[in-house]
Every structure is written in structure tokens, then in C-alpha cells.
Structure 1
């Protein structure tokens, strides 16, 4: 599986996708099923299997996506779309991971253009998580725990504006139940005595990494939901009669919630979580593209199931269409930050028994498996509960430990912002490690693209922000954060493979507020940070030399909110123009900090500046096309800087 090891290896590998012949069913096959004389249950069963087949195709072609939760929810989603939803009703999945399955249903029904199945996680195609810019999506999801709150907002607006809308159906996940907001949303929902709200929990027992029960046992969910006043029930989520009865039974004057017991990976025997042995800790098929063998076996199983159901229903379906998967190649020169981080934290932990690691259900993505295996008593799996994790870390620090917390940067720095600030205000030294930082990977969509984390963390009291440019500098940065910095540190880590730039031994020079001069030049100096943009800028500098005969100075700094003004004054003395290139929004990002502080120090007197970075909501797609769209590819950066040099 590609993503599962995951975004840390770029969402997919050449081995996983190259040379696979993949196939899909055309819309005609779904139409034949829908127009048959079979029962609603029979139609839905076969429709859902066809949707699973196309979901497998979409994820394989994209090179990434979520199969396990798509497969577990497809019987529920298919029943709703085929038999329940009326034009005035609204449905959305709060968890968002099941978007490939949802898209497979929506394309089959013409809600989305059918050809979009070929464009999952592509620019102009279907985003990795639902977005209101796509037909059929009523709200953005992907950031967990928000679904019921969003549903309540819709209902309140309908009532206040006297808009005659129908019912609201929300699908949520059991891992998502660890987010505090979801439980907050239950309380007030009952106060309005509104029976238009139907919530279904896709209770497939497995969250991102492992069994839910291993992280935070949910216990008796029906009793818990009932205690909040909801009309709660439980049943087999793959039994269509259970879904039908849940919706059709006469409602009380209260919202309804169904705990639908499902199987993660349903429909493919070896992907079903029930096939995991007792000694298997991590579920393999939460996310990522299947490899050649897995794809072939899964396709065979689904096709056999489709043919069997078709024969039982006396339906003749067309053969699936075969195409070739686009290979996703990773350069042999690439380096990976997350495995390097795994080595760095393990090395420090061996010499410092006070180091503890906290994780938010991303142990695979954050490189913590070696740490967990070697120091199980110093590893805390907090689940999908970032706020709880950060507050625990704060008092661990007050108690004498060195806590290092881990999550995706997009969730850690935003959802737990208040808790981080509280930790800083009480003097808790905590190291915050945000992976999946920056514009890439762009496949998951805007909910997962962390391009505002520098803004969020720069305003924290006594917090140093660091973005290492390569694995060597990462090791030095983590050592500095643990052993030298007296306050808190935010480490911003790239999760995709990158071609590293290096200054040799200078990589180890970690003087606060300074950078490394990677290329000498005058007239124009480019300042950047991190592995993605440092490589882009070095290519741009080479283009200036080769095409225009101009030597451009390049400074790569790991310090995002620390600046040695005297050092920069010396480095910039021969440059009349200064450009900042960053993997973040330009507004209130790294560039804003650099230019503001250089200006206050009088370094920029008589010098022109330009900031190059993100200026709009990040788009979803593959790496090269997204860099080009946002004008962060080398050609666009070069052209922008040529114009900058030519300007008076």
C-alpha cells in the first residue's frame, strides 16, 4: 500500500503502480442494474459491489486514497442514494476518508460526470476529501469531528429562514468519535427535538493505524448516545434491512443515530479487518494504492462477487474496461524525512530517559513505530484527540519529562492551538512535530495541506519554529530542541520524498537565526527554507547562471521565526533585491517574518523585496501539476524573479 507507510513515501511508489492493468465498469453497467426488475435490496447489493470495483480502480489509478473505509461504508451509502435520499434531503460523510466510495456512487448516478472516476486526486478532478466545489458535496469534510455540528447548523438555518428542506443524513466513523467536538455536538442536538437528523456510525472497529479498542475503547455506544437523549440503536451495517428500518421506523421527536457494525475493507477477503490475525497490530489497507498482487487479487474477488450476484438476478453486465495505471516514479536520489526522524528521536531517547513520545493515531506516518517498539512505556497513543494529547504533554513537561507530540501539521497546529498556547503560557517545554507540512502531498486536498501552520505557531510565546532542509539538519534540529532550547519548539517536517540539497559539513551549523549560503552571488538573494523549496530555488539559481549569466545568492535557513539581523546584514550587503520563496501562504508566513524583521533592523533600506508562495486555497492534485498551478514550479519561480530583476 502506498500511503500507509504513507504520505511519508509520497502517497505511492513506482513499484505499487507501474505496469498494472486496471479496470472499471462503465456507467452502462450501473444503469442496467438500476433499470432491472429486481428488488431494491438486490439492486443495492449489486450496485454497491460495482461501486467497490470502481473505487478500487480510482484509488489504483490515483496512486493513493482510502480503500478500507470506502468499502466498509458502501452498502450504507448505496442504500441511501438508491432508496432514501430525495431532492430536498442532504447527505454528507463527516469522516471524509470514504470519498472514493462516495464518488463511485455519485458518478454512477450522474451526480458527478462519470469521466471523473479517472481523475481522483488530480487537478480539476475529484479531491481526496469532499469539497463544496464538487457537485453533490454540501460541506467540506476531512477534518474530523465536525459532522453533527455542521448538520445542526443546516437545520437551524432552514428553520430561521423558513426554507423547506428535507432530512439530513450524516455518516461518521468510530475513530472520529475520539474527537471531543463530536460529543459536544450531541448535547444541544436533542434540545431542539428535531427528528430530521439521522446519523450513522460506520463502526468498522479500525481507525487509521490499528483497532479502535487498542487506542480508546468506545464501550457501549448505544447507551452513551441514549444518555444524551438520542434515539439510538445498533445493527449490522451490511444488512440493508437494518439501514431501511432505521430510517423508516416512526421517529420520535429527537434525532436518531445508528451504530452500524461494519467490516473495514468489506468485499475483499484479505482487506477485511476480520481477516487480521490476533498478532497483527496494524491494518494495512486504511490508505494507499494497492500493489500489483493486491490489486489483481482484489479485482478478481470483486469480479467474482459481481458475476455471482448478476447470475442470481439474471442480469447480464458488460465486461469491465481495462486501462494502464500511470506510473508514479520516485527519483533514486530522493531522501525521506520521516524515516530520518524515526532514527533521530530513537537515538536521543536512548540517552535521555525523560523523553516521551505522544501520537495522534498516526504512528505509521510520523515514524514512531521503532520508538514504540523499543520504549513502549514511553510511548502514548492518544488517538484522534489532538487537544487531549497536547494538554497531557503540557503537564508531563511540568512534571519533569520531555514530551514530543506528533500529528499532521494541519491538525496539530490548528485544532490544538489553544492548548499549545496554554502550554507556552505556563512555561511547559514541549516539542511539537508536525508532519505532512506544506503544499505537498496535494492529493488529500485542502483539509490536509498545511499551509497556515507557520502563522499559527509564530504567535506562540517562547516558541521556536524550525524547518530542516534535509535529514542531516533534521537530526541536529531535534537535538537542539531537546538539549539546548529552553522553551518549546515546532518542527515542520515534509512527508513526501525529496531530492536533498546539502552544504556538506555546513548542514551541521545550527546557529540560531542564521542560514546556509548554498550559492554565492550578488544583485539578487533568494531566501528559502525546507527541502521542497530549497531544491526548487537551487534549480532556479542554476537557470539564472546558465541562461542569463547571473550569479544568484541562495540562503537556506531552518529558522522560521528567528533572525540574526547582523548576520543577514553582512550576507545581503551586495544584493539590491531580496526574494523569499516559501512552502506556505505568503500572508503572515515565513516571508512576512523575514521581511518585517529585516526592515525593522534597517537591513532592507534601499532594497526591493518580493515574496513567492501560496496566495489562494491550495488545489488538489499530483505534485508537479500542483506546483505548476500555484506557480511554485521552477519555471514559474524563475520567470517571476526575472520580472523582479527587470523592474525598477
Structure 2
């Protein structure tokens, strides 16, 4: 099939889209001009967005079956021979191959990109066995591993292009459910940089992934109560934007992190590590506690665990009121 005949749907202008589909569209587009890109799949291409690549570039689509450890080890070998492998599966299945991600990929500095769909509570009715609330913690602990969590379909596309240009190990969350597009067009994506999405002087909400939209809604609710909330979107969890965080810690009284992940080891921990070393602003974390997730629709689970916009608002208001009460 000629390049002209390979048409991909556009992302720009849609109100919401699935982050996994955005990845599949973007990597298919990038591969048009980069013949080194290959995509490896663990028999879930329909669920990761990789089906776009499979139909557009079947000669570079490698079906590995349900054998995630072999898939990641194979990708490392391909990378050492000059290819640019993008490995795709669900986040919870990616953790089956954590040893291979550490040894085959990171230890050797292999140019492998691990793309994980269905992270956090987004899996919904599939329940605890399929929910992955620990992946950011696991991946950011691996030396040399870049860790990304874009907020919408447009940013996923931009991050995919950035990963194609980046040399080295990386892990990126996508998503299962449609998520509102915060951006009106693909943003400039720089690995290691966060962005102020809304300015504020009283406190700062730091969010990643689907939580950034919820943080923006919560910030509007806070403003109705006279609380001025800055919102920082942190699509790169590692290496994190230290300068942006420290600026916020100096200029606002409280930092609240928001993530669809355990409060242990993820974005909240990354932010706390930076702020505790260099600034005096207290850090509070909004996320899933030290529990195994439940079964339900993603929006229901977000409400149950306090990760919807109202939950972010209520917890942040409580944190802020406690700060005032303590002087």
C-alpha cells in the first residue's frame, strides 16, 4: 500500500478521545518517515491502539502472544541492532516483565519504549486483578527509565513523537476510556518539563494523566470558595521538573498532588522528594491508598476513591483549612 493511501484519523478538534487510540494513530504516522520503528504486541492490539500500526505497517508489527517477558527481551535485542521498538500491552501485564524491563532494557540502555494502556482505575469493571496502581512507582525506581503520563489524546500524540526522537529506555501510560482534550492542538512536548495550566497564589495542584483535567475542575471549585489554586500538569514523572516544583513551593503555601495511582511511589512521592529537600511548603497527596482496587465503572471508582474532581476539591479544601488552623 502506498504512503498516500495510508490515511489516519485526525485527533485535533475532538472533544475527547481514548489515549490508547491516540498512541496508535501517532505511532503509525511517525513510522511513515522512520523505517526503524517496530511495534511489538502481546495479543492485545485492539486494546492498546496498536491495531492502527498493524493495519498501516503490517511488515513491522510483531505479534508476540501472551509472553510479555519474551516480548521485552526481544525488543531489547532489536534495539541493539538499530531498530526502535515500541512495546505495547496493558499496564498490569507490563509488570509481569519488570525483571526484563530492568535488566534487558535499562541495564543495557536499550532504546526501547514501553507503552502501557489500561493504567490505574481506568480498567474499571475488570477489577483489582487488572488494575495497575503501582506501575509509576515500579518504573521510576528503575535507573535510567524515563516515565511519562500525558493528560489527553493530543498530548499522547505529541509525547509519542518525542519518544520516537528520544534515545533510551522509557515508559509511557496511555489509557482506556475517553478523556477530555485539555489542549486544542498537539502541544510542544519536552521530556522533563511540566506546564502551568492555571495560575494561582494560595496552593498548587500537581497532576498527571487523567487527573490533570480533574485538577483543573477542582481548581475552579476552589476559586468559588475564595481559594486561588495553581494547576501544574506534570506529564514527565521522571525526570521531574524540579525548577517548576520549587518555584511553586516558594510562591504558594501548599502542594497537593493528584494521580490515578497509589499514593506510594508515584507522582506524589516524586514531588515530595523534591520539595522536602529544597523548600518548606507542605506536600499532601491525592491518590489511591494502600489498598487493592475494586470493581466498577471508571467514573464510579474515581468517585469511590476520591479521585474525581469533587474528591480532589474536597480533600484539597480540607488540607488548606488544616494549614490555616495550624498557622
The corresponding residue for 1:540 is 218
2:287 is the alignment partner of 1:613: yes
The corresponding residue for 1:420 is 101
Question: What's the CA shift string for 1:373-419, capped at 9, x where partnerless?
Answer: 2322211100011011111001000111101110001111x110111
From 169, 176, 189, give the equivalent of 1:495: 176
Contact 1:582–1:613 (CA<8 Å) still a contact in 2?
A: yes
TM-score, normalised with respect to structure 2: 0.90
The corresponding residue for 2:60 is 378
Residues 84-103 of structure 1 correspond to what in structure 2 (within 5 A)?
Answer: none
1:452 deviates by 0.6
The corresponding residue for 2:190 is 511
If you compute each CA radius of gyration, which structure gives the higher value, 1 or 2? 1
Contact 2:234–2:240 (CA<8 Å) still a contact in 1?
A: no
CA distance in 1, matches of 2:308, 2:159: 27
CA distance in 1, matches of 2:241, 2:149: 16
Contact 1:366–1:407 (CA<8 Å) still a contact in 2?
A: yes
Contact 1:514–1:568 (CA<8 Å) still a contact in 2?
A: no
Residues 475-624 of structure 1 correspond to what in structure 2 (within 5 A)?
Answer: 475-483=157-165, 485-502=166-183, 504=184, 508-530=187-209, 532-546=210-224, 548-600=225-277, 602=278, 604-605=279-280, 607-615=281-289, 616-624=291-299
CA distance in 2, matches of 1:369, 1:633: 30
SS in 1 for 2:89: strand
1:466 deviates by 0.6
2:88 is the alignment partner of 1:406: yes
CA distance in 1, matches of 2:258, 2:20: 23
RMSD, aligned CA: 1.6
Question: What's the CA shift string for 1:490-538, capped at 9, x where partnerless?
Answer: 1101111112223x56x623333321211111111000001x2112111
The corresponding residue for 2:143 is 461
Distance 1:553 1:434, change over 3 A: same
The corresponding residue for 2:7 is none
Unaligned runs of 5+ residues in structure 2 are 1-13
1:360 deviates by 0.1
CA distance in 1, matches of 2:267, 2:246: 18
Question: What's the CA shift string for 1:224-276, capped at 9, x where partnerless?
Answer: xxxxxxxxxxxxxxxxxxxxxxxxxxxxxxxxxxxxxxxxxxxxxxxxxxxxx
Contact 1:481–1:488 (CA<8 Å) still a contact in 2?
A: no
Residues 386-405 of structure 1 correspond to what in structure 2 (within 5 A)?
Answer: 386-405=68-87
Question: How many residue pairs end up in the alignment?
Answer: 308
CA distance in 1, matches of 2:317, 2:56: 52
1:345 deviates by 0.5
CA distance in 1, matches of 2:31, 2:284: 42
Contact 1:512–1:564 (CA<8 Å) still a contact in 2?
A: no
Distance 1:511 1:373, change over 3 A: closer
The corresponding residue for 2:3 is none
SS in 1 for 2:214: helix
Contact 2:149–2:174 (CA<8 Å) still a contact in 1?
A: yes
Residues 122-521 of structure 1 correspond to what in structure 2 (within 5 A)?
Answer: 333-412=15-94, 414-422=95-103, 423-483=105-165, 485-502=166-183, 504=184, 508-521=187-200
CA distance in 2, matches of 1:375, 1:501: 30
Distance 1:637 1:374, change over 3 A: closer
TM-score, normalised with respect to structure 1: 0.46
SS in 2 for 1:443: helix
Structure having the larger proportion of residues in strand: 2
Unaligned runs of 5+ residues in structure 1 are 1-331
SS in 2 for 1:573: helix
1:575 deviates by 0.2
